Copies of this chain bind each other. A is one copy, B any other.
Amino acid sequence: MKAAVIGIDADDTLWHSETLFSVTHERFAELLADHADPDELGRRMYETERRNLRLFGYGAKGFTLSMIETALEVTDGQLPGAHVQAILDLGKALLDHPVNLLDGVRGAIEALADRRLVLVTKGDLFHQESKVAGSGLGELFERIEIVSEKDEATYRKVVANLGIEPEQFLMVGNALRSDVLPVVAIGGRAVHVPYEVDWAHEVVPDGDLPTERWWRLDSLAGLPALLEQIER
C-alpha cells in the first residue's frame, strides 16, 4: 500500500547535528581539562542534561545552559568568567552553524517531490525553523511539525491533523526510539536510517525491536527505491 504521507525526521536524518554536538563536547572537555578528565566530564554532563530535561527539553540552548551548570560543578563553583564566555560562544556557534545536508538527501527528497512530505522534528522551534530555512528543502515539505516529544500520543495527533489513518503514514528517521518504535506501535510503517553517531538517550536493545512494518537503510538516498519495493 502506498503511504498517503511520508514523515521525515530532520536532525541527523536530513542534516548533520549530533556530530556538531560531539565537536562542541570535545571543545568543552578541552576547556575544562584542568578540572575533569573527558570521560568524567561526559558523565557529569549527561547527568546534568538528564536532570534538566524536564525543564529545558531538547535543543542547543538547553545544552548550553547544561554545559555551564556542569562546568560550575566540576570547578566547585570556581569557574573563570572567560570560561563562561567560551561556553556561551560554543553554544552560539552551534545555533549559528550552517546546515550541512547528509549525502544523498537532496536527491532523495527531490525524487519524492510528488509525494506528501511532512517534516516531523523534535527540539527547539526557533532553531529548527532556521535550519529548515537554511537547508533549502523547506519548499518540498507540505508542513513542518515541530513536536516536544516523539511518542505514540504525538504521532497519533500528527496523523489525525493530517486527516489520515496511522496505516497510511510512513516515518523515516535515524532514531529507533523516536522515529520507528512509536510509529510502528500505532499501526504505521517506518524506515530507520542510522546516523554515524548514536545518541546515548536513544539506544534500544534488539529484543525490544518490532518484528514487522519497518525497514533499515544505510542512506536516505535509498528511500525512493525502497518505497517502490514496499509500496507495490
Q: Which residues of A contact B (CB under 8 A)?
A: 52, 55-59, 61-62, 64-65, 68-69, 72, 75, 77-79, 81-82, 84-85, 88, 91-92, 95-96, 124-127, 129, 143, 146-148, 161
Contacts and interface: CB of A to CB of B under 8 A. Distances in A.
A66 to B, nearest CB: 10
Contact of A124 (B88, B96, B124): B124
A138 to B, nearest CB: 12
B148 A57 contact: no
A57 B96 CA distance: 12
A81 B82 contact: no
Given A78-B81, A81-B78, A92 B126 contact: no
Give the oligomeric copy count. Answer: 2
Contacts of A148: 125-126, 129
Given A61-B61, A75-B81, A125-B124, A68 B56 contact: no
Contacts of A65: 61, 64-65, 88, 91
**6 cross-chain pairs, A with B, having the tightest CB-CB distances, nearest first:** A57-B126, A77-B81, A61-B61, A125-B125, A79-B81, A55-B95
Contacts of A56: 61, 95, 126
Contacts of A91: 65
A68 to B, nearest CB: 6
Contact of A127 (B57, B68, B143): B57
Nearest to A77: B81
Contact of A69 (B77, B88, B125, B143): B88
A74 to B, nearest CB: 11
A64 B147 CA distance: 23
Contacts of A84: 68, 72, 79, 84
